[in-house]
Amino acid sequence: MEIVDKAKSTTFYAVGLSYKKADAEVRGKFSLSEEAQENLLNQAKDDGIESLIVMSTCNRTEIYGFAQHPFELIKLLCDNSNGTVDDFRLVGYVYKNNEALRHLFRVGTGLDSQILGDFEIIGQIKKGFVYSKKLGLSTNYFERVINAVIQASKRVKNETELSSGATSVSFAAVQYIMDHVEDISNKNILLFGTGKIGRNTCENLVKHTRNDHIVLINRTKEKALEVAGKFNLLVKDYEDLSTEIVKADVLIVATGAQTPTINLEKLNLTKPITILDLSIPKNVDADVLQDERVTLIHMDDLYKITDKTIERRKEFIPQAEEIIDEVFSEFIAWTKMRTFAPTIHALKTKLEQIKDGEIDYHRKKYENFDSEQAEAIAMRIVQKITTHFANHLRHEETVVDDSIEWIEKVFQLETKNNG
């Protein structure tokens, strides 16, 4: 079924790239900061695009919206990131109409996540929609799309165990440290950055390593103090970064910088160090590997850590897909009804006009004519006829546009179809 805004002849598209084909370096090129997302939305508005949302996470950057051609959305992405159209051709994807909707449902329910069942993505979708709506880049139809995805996500979370067990990037980071760094409770750990992944890693480190040698550094010290207060960590000034790196056995980098913040020059090592880069774009320059004492692990390496939790989650994929099919079908049924409602309304009006004319004719012709009883019977017939037509139009095998055209022609109806 074509999902088209008839007023502007635009089609629903999903364009983007994800961990499936794009490595961390390429995803970094297309990563959109909050400022870049705002610029993208304003550019879309200037281009006359009526509704869209954008989201950029460590695993994917995507745009969903109505456009006359998908290149309009690809151009928005490339204009506001460091990615090029040629880069996009190699790793990007374009989905259209129902395929785009299906993709959005899978993303929103955690089925398309790098860690199966990761439900943080639905928060990104909500946030993206709220921001787009605030800028006027939404329609009633688009809001209905997002609400359907949110509904499916809630049901999958509540009715299945797709998100059961402790699995996340931050948990995988701590799991890696515990498996590969000996005597971790006595080692010096330095956390640089207080983004969401950094904060979660902090919490998992404290919980699982029982280490009281954790130092936190952030460019904005107030944010570092706020996080440190929750976990009783030591905070140092940003100027002390190089000094603290020398002391560290483990360095976790989780900043939101667009270019590398750690390189070989900053290290000045006196002993081996394990560095975990939990940032997109990468925040640790590959030149650190020139020092043989460095072990560098990036976020994508951590995602390869599969455990029993992920294996168990896979059991619930069919159950989650059933829920998606159910909510998706309800949404498509609503879409169809939205398309044919004006026709059914016009048909009912036409039949009522015929009914009124016939009752008026018989009232004048027959002296003892019971117009109230005739009205009641005739209205039941009108209702039954319109219900038959509505049921036909709702049927999944019905070609709605062709049927509407036929009904309007036979009954000589004039409708303002809102598509």
Residues 371, 377, 383, 388, CA torsion sign: negative
Is 58 catalytic? The answer is yes
Given the structure tokens 């016009």, which residue do they identify? Answer: 346
Q: Retrieve residue 37's tokens.
A: 């997302």
Given the structure tokens 């910088």, which residue do they identify? Answer: 257
Given the structure tokens 């997002």, which residue do they identify? Answer: 146
- Reduced to 3 states, what is the DSSP secondary structure of residue 219? coil
DSSP code string of 80-93:
TSS--HHHHHHH-E
| Phi-psi region at 16: left, alpha or beta (left = phi > 0; alpha = psi -120 to 50) | left
> Strands 214-217 and 189-192: what pairing?
parallel
The residue from 3, 14, 53, 58 that is catalytic is 58
Give the integer Cα–Cα distance in Å for 380 and 362.
18
Asked if residues 97 and 3 have their Cβ atoms less than 8 Å apart, the reply is yes
Catalytic residue numbers, as ranges: 58
